[in-house]
Amino acid sequence: MQTDSTRDDRSGVTPRTTPTAPTTPTAPATRTAPATPTTPTAPTAPTTAAKPVTPAHTGPTRHDPHSPPTGTAGTTGFLRALGHRWPTLLALALAVATFVDGLPPVGLLGGLLLIMPLCYLLFGALRGELRPPRVLVVQLAGLVAFGAVALLALTAGDRAGYYVLAAGWFGHAVWDFVHHRSGRVVPRAWSEWCCVVDACGALAMAVLA
């Protein structure tokens, strides 16, 4: 501790010496931790440019030269449908040719009604579709039933005979339709043809008798 012995010339009083407080040593500066290395960021993928929107075509539709005309397509479809119905067309032609000049004799129409179930038996035998035995029994029953109608028509007289035959021909048209739906015993083309002929013949006899 130092003492100032110098006197103040103006007062003649010796000043009191104030002890100086010891200086507190300064704490050493804290060492800064080394910075953590930053993980490199993956490069950002370039943004895909938006695809320009093509404006909607508002003008008239351009006709494709390779596509068939609408009218031609419709005609082709109609002709194709007629091609599938060729049995019906043949049956209509036969019905018109048979009844255009009036009614044939009762004996001829009765004989045709007897021949119809015989054709079913012949087709069934050739196609091997008369098995099981119940199929043959059904076909024989049809032969007996339609044969009985034909005989009844021959004994009933001309006018009444036509009405009896009209009922028998219509019944055979139903018989044809059932076989056409099942596809058994006779070909579908035959059952379709016979169904149309029978129905037209029944209608002609009922109207013209």
Q: 51 — phi, psi (to 5°)?
A: -70, 125
Query: pLDDT under 70 in the chain at which residues?
Result: 1-74, 77-83
Q: Name the token pair of 70.
A: 């609408």
pLDDT value of residue 172:
98
Residue 121's Cβ-count burial label (10 Å; 0-12, 13-18, 19+) is middle
Q: Name the token pair of 125.
A: 């035998």
Which amino acid, one-letter code, is at 4? Answer: D
pLDDT value of residue 2:
44
DSSP state of 162: H
Three-state secondary-structure class, residue 37: coil
Q: What is the CA radius of gyration of the chain?
A: 57
pTM summary value: 0.63
pLDDT value of residue 67:
53
Overall residue count recorded for the chain in this entry: 209
DSSP state of 66: T
Q: Name the token pair of 148.
A: 């009985």
pLDDT value of residue 15:
47
pLDDT value of residue 4:
46
Q: 87 — phi, psi (to 5°)?
A: -60, -40
DSSP state of 3: -
DSSP state of 79: H
Q: Where are the alpha helices (DSSP H) in the chain?
A: 70-84, 86-99, 106-127, 133-155, 158-182, 188-208
